[in-house]
Amino acid sequence: MTARIDDIVCPVPATPDQVLLAHGGGGRMMRRLIEELIVPALGDDPLLRPLHDGAVVTVEGTRLAFTTDSYVVRPLIFPGGDIAQLAVNGTVNDLAMCGARPLVLSIGLIVEEGLPMDLLRRLMESLGRAAAAAGVRIVTGDTKVVDRGKGDGLFINTAGVGVVVAPHPVEPAGVRPGDAVLLSGDIGRHGVAIMASRDGLAFETTIESDCAPLAEPVLRLLEAGVEVHCLRDLTRGGLGAALVEIAKTAGRRIEVEESAIPVRPDVQAACELLGLEPLYVANEGRFVAFVAPGEAERALSLLRSHPLGEQAARIGEVGGEGTDVVMTGPLGTARVIDLPSGEQLPRIC
Q: How far is the CB of 265 from its own copies (least distance, A)?
A: 32
Contacting its own copies within 116-155 (CB under 8 A): 116-118, 120-121, 124-125, 127-128, 131-132, 137-147, 149-152, 155
Stretch in the footprint of its own copies (CB under 8 A) among 108-116, 196-204, 264-272, 310-318? 108-116
Closer to its own copies by CB, 106 or 268: give it. Answer: 106
Q: How far is the CB of 94 from its own copies (least distance, A)?
A: 9
If one asks whether residue 180 binds its own copies (CB under 8 A), the answer comes out as no
CA distance 203 to 57: 46
Q: Residues 13-52 vs its own copies: string with x where CB under 8 A? A: --xxxxxxxxxxx----x--xx--xx--xxx-x-xx----
Closer to its own copies by CB, 46 or 200: give it. Answer: 46
CA distance 87 to 17: 31
Q: How far is the CB of 130 from its own copies (least distance, A)?
A: 10
Stretch in the footprint of its own copies (CB under 8 A) among 53-61, 194-202, 206-214, 249-257? 53-61
Q: What is the DSSP string of 176-243?
A: -TT-EEEE-S---HHHHHHHHHHTT---SSPPPP-----HHHHHHHHHTT--EEEEEE--TTHHHHHH
Q: Residues 65-84 vs its own copies: string with x where CB under 8 A? A: -xxxxxxx------------
Stretch in the footprint of its own copies (CB under 8 A) among 63-71, 267-275, 278-286, 328-336? 63-71
Beta sheet of 154-164, edge-to-edge order: 55-59, 62-71, 154-164, 100-112, 137-146
Closer to its own copies by CB, 23 or 189: give it. Answer: 23
* Burial class of 199 by CB neighbour count within 10 A (0 to 12, 13 to 18, 19+): exposed
**Size of the chain in residues:** 349
Dihedral (CA of 39, 44, 45, 51) sign? positive
# binding residues, its own copies (CB under 8 A): 82
Q: How far is the CB of 322 from its own copies (least distance, A)?
A: 28
If one asks whether residue 335 binds its own copies (CB under 8 A), the answer comes out as no
Q: What is the 3-state secondary structure (H, E, C) of 237-292?
A: CHHHHHHHHHHHHHCEEEEEEHHHCCCCHHHHHHHHHHCCCHHHCCCCCCEEEEEC
Q: Are 289 and 228 in contact (CB under 8 A)?
A: yes
Tell me which of 4, 12, 14, 57 binds its own copies, using CB under 8 A: 57
Tell me which of 104, 173, 274, 326 binds its own copies, using CB under 8 A: 104
Contacting its own copies within 227-266 (CB under 8 A): none
Residue 306 to residues 71, 93, 181, 219: CA-CA distances in angstroms?
27, 16, 18, 11
What's at 266, amino acid-wise? D
Tell me which of 77, 111, 173, 326 binds its own copies, using CB under 8 A: 111
